[in-house]
Amino acid sequence: MTRTFSLKGKTYSPSNILIIAELGTGHRGNTARAKELVDAAALAGADCIKVQIVYADEILHPATGTVPLPGGNIKLYDVFKTLEAPINFYAELKDYAESKGLLFLASPFGRRSAQELFCLSPDFVKVASPELNYTELLQTIAAWHIPALLSSGVSTLADIENALHYFDRTAICLLHCVTAYPAPESDYNLTVLRHLSGIFGVSVGISDHSLDPVIVPTLAVANGACLIEKHFCLSRGDSGLDDPIALPPKDFLMMSNAIRRAQKRDSISIIEDAKITFGVEKVNAVLGDGVKKLSGAEENNYLRTNRSIHALIEIKEGDMFTRDTIAVLRTEKVLRPGLPPSFFEMLLGRAARRIIPAGQGVLWDDVL
Task: Dump pLDDT digits (tens) for 20-33.
Answer: 999 988 888 899 99
CATH code, domain with 356: 3.90.1210.10
Whether 18 maps to a domain, the answer reads yes
Q: What percent of the chain has a predicted confidence (pLDDT) above 90?
A: 88
Q: Of 287, 322, 338, which residue constitutes the final position of a domain? A: 287
DSSP 191: T
Instruction: Say if residue 172's pLDDT is above 80.
Output: yes
Cβ neighbour number for residue 158 with a 10 Å cutoff:
9
Say if 1 falls within a structural domain.
Answer: no
Instruction: Judge whether 160 lies within some domain.
Output: yes
Q: What is the pLDDT of residues 88-146, one digit of tens each?
A: 999 999 999 999 999 999 999 999 999 999 999 999 999 999 999 999 999 999 999 99
Q: Quick one: 211 and 313 in the same domain?
A: no
| 213 and 359 inside one domain | no
Measure the CA–CA gap between 346 and 338, rounded to whole angstroms: 14
- Residue range(s) defining the domain that contains residue 120: 9-287
Q: Classify residue 250: in a domain, yes or no.
A: yes
128 with 249, same domain?
yes
Q: Where are the alpha helices (DSSP H) in the chain?
A: 31-43, 56-59, 76-82, 87-99, 111-118, 135-142, 157-164, 192-200, 215-222, 249-262, 267-278, 280-287, 344-347
Q: How many CA atoms lie within 13 A of 122 on its CB side?
A: 29
198 plus 322 within the same structural domain: no
Burial class (CB in 10 A: 0-12, 13-18, 19+), 110: buried
Give a yes or no: residue 4 inside a domain.
Answer: no
User: Are residues 89 and 61 part of one domain?
Assistant: yes
In a domain, 173, yes or no: yes
pLDDT tops 90 at residue 222: yes
**Is residue 296 in a domain?**
no
In tens, the pLDDT along 186-195 reads 999 999 999 9
User: For residue 297, is it within any domain?
Assistant: no
Among residues 287, 312, 339, which one ends one of the domains? Answer: 287
Q: Which tens digit of pLDDT belongs to each residue from 315-340?
A: 999 999 999 999 999 998 889 999 99
Residue 190 and residue 82 share a domain: yes
pLDDT (0 to 100) of residue 69:
67
Same domain, 274 and 348: no
Residue 85's alpha-carbon distances to 15, 93, 222, 308, in angstroms, are 37, 12, 39, 25
Residue type, 146: I
CA 166 to chain centre: 18
Is 339 in the same domain as 366? Answer: yes
Q: Please tell me the predicted confidence (pLDDT) of residue 71.
A: 65
Where does a domain end: 256, 287, 318?
287
Q: Looking at the structure, tell me whether residues 283 and 308 fall in a common domain.
A: no
Q: Work out whether the CA dihedral 255, 257, 260, 266 comes out positive or negative.
A: negative
**Both 235 and 358 in a single domain?**
no
Chain Cα centroid distance, residue 155: 12
Q: Spell out the residues 6+ positions from residue 160 whose beta carbon is closer than 8 angstroms to its own.
A: 132, 150, 152, 174, 196, 200, 292
Q: Give the mean pLDDT of 339-366.
A: 97
Q: Which amino acid is at 329?
A: L
Pair 234, 362 in one domain? no
Give residue 206's pLDDT: 98
DSSP, res 8: T
CA pair distance 338, 366, nearest whole angstrom: 10
User: pLDDT digits over 267-288, tens only?
Assistant: 999 999 999 999 999 999 999 9
103 in the same domain as 212: yes
- What pLDDT, in 10s, does the model give residues 49-96? 999 999 999 999 999 988 776 667 878 898 889 889 999 999 999 999
Average model confidence (pLDDT) for the chain?
95
For the chain, the domain total comes to 2
Minimum mean pLDDT among 44-53, 131-140, 299-308: which range? Answer: 299-308
